[in-house]
Amino acid sequence: MSTPQIVDSHCHLDFPDFDEERADVINRAVAAGVTRMVTICTKLRNEPQVRAIAETYTPVFYAAGTHPMSAADEPLATVDDLIALTQHPKMVGIGESGLDYHYTAESADIQKQSLRVHVQAAQETGLPLIIHNRASDDDMAAILGAAHKEKPFKCVMHCFSSSAELARTALDHGFYLSMSGIATFPKSQELRDIFATAPVDRILVETDSPYLAPPPHRGRRNEPAYTAHTAKVGAEVFGLSYEDFAAQTTANFERLFDKAAGWTP
């Protein structure tokens, strides 16, 4: 019986955690049914290394942006900078960008400025915006809502663990919610309940590896192969078989990340 195919929509394969065995990590993912991975560049100066990983490994695509926690320490990206990067055939998303007031509230103003640049790049290119949000629900809803009203764009709320209100706002704009290992933790029932109210055709799965490993690997380094553990919990949340949930989230990924869906080696 073949292994159901699934997608890890958000990982960080360029991080040093994987330097010693990157090829093995990717091979383990493929063996677990993870046929595609999107590795995320969080600082534009690292884009060449991230791009090289996508060029080296057929199952890997990439996105690029400035992470909000780095916004104060990195040069402010321009819309033209981001658009230029999208010329690469395996560059499939803008970000991750967003707001993080939990760790870096002191840089809120530059984070907002950076976020608006990334939003505009998504509006101009048609590629999905990848959003990081932590402790900034009100500002996030206001910025994304105003921009979407002005010119619609595609978006995924990566590693979603925010409020039911922000989930509803995002879904009302046609955005997607991505389920990470957080949704599998025993104390995350409230988050699982939020996901359960969303349309299943608006759900993605991800690892955010090397972070947030789901059980039975919690507390250790995460890797794309473990997407399956999160997806099995997701299947329970939506009352589906693992096979059907894997197929649904793969179809969702292909709809949102249509550039990745259309890529051929």
pLDDT tens per residue across span 187-209 = 999 999 999 999 999 999 999 99
HSE of 242, CA atoms in CB hemisphere, 13 A: 14
Across the chain, what does the average pLDDT equal?
A: 97
Looking at residue 94, what is its pLDDT? Answer: 98
Per-residue pLDDT reduced to its tens digit, 147-169: 999 999 999 999 999 999 999 99
Instruction: Count CB neighbours of 93 within 10 A.
Output: 30
Please state the φ and ψ torsions of residue 44, each to the nearest 5 degrees: -65, -25
Q: Using pLDDT thresholds of 50, 70 and 90, give the confidence band for residue 265.
A: confident
DSSP per-residue string spanning 118-141: HHHHHHHH-PPEEEEEES-HHHHH
Q: Using pLDDT thresholds of 50, 70 and 90, give the confidence band for residue 2.
A: confident
Residue with more model confidence, 265 or 249: 249
Per-residue pLDDT reduced to its tens digit, 51-88: 999 999 999 999 999 999 999 999 999 999 999 999 99
Detail the DSSP E strand segments found in 12-169. Answer: 34-41, 60-64, 91-100, 129-134, 155-157
Nearest to 10 by CA among 145, 202, 112, 158: 158
Looking at residue 1, what is its pLDDT? Answer: 64
Residues 6+ apart with CB under 8 A from 262: none
Per-residue pLDDT reduced to its tens digit, 106-144: 999 999 999 999 999 999 999 999 999 999 999 999 999
Distance CA 95, CA 235 (A): 27
Query: In this structure, what token pair is assigned to residue 80?
Result: 């033209």
Distance CA 203, CA 251 (A): 10
Distance CA 223, CA 210 (A): 6
Nearest to 247 by CA among 2, 6, 3: 6
Looking at residue 151, what is its pLDDT? Answer: 98
Query: In this structure, what token pair is assigned to residue 213?
Result: 């490993």
Per-residue pLDDT reduced to its tens digit, 7-40: 999 999 999 999 999 999 999 999 999 999 999 9
3 state DSSP class of 52:
helix
Distance CA 202, CA 181 (A): 18
pTM higher than 0.95, yes or no? Answer: yes
Per-residue pLDDT reduced to its tens digit, 218-251: 999 999 999 999 999 999 999 999 999 999 999 9
Instruction: Mark 11-30 as b/e (b = at least 16 C-beta within 10 Å).
Output: bbbbbebbeeebeebbeebb
Could you tell me the CATH superfamily of domain 6-261?
Answer: Metal-dependent hydrolases (3.20.20.140)
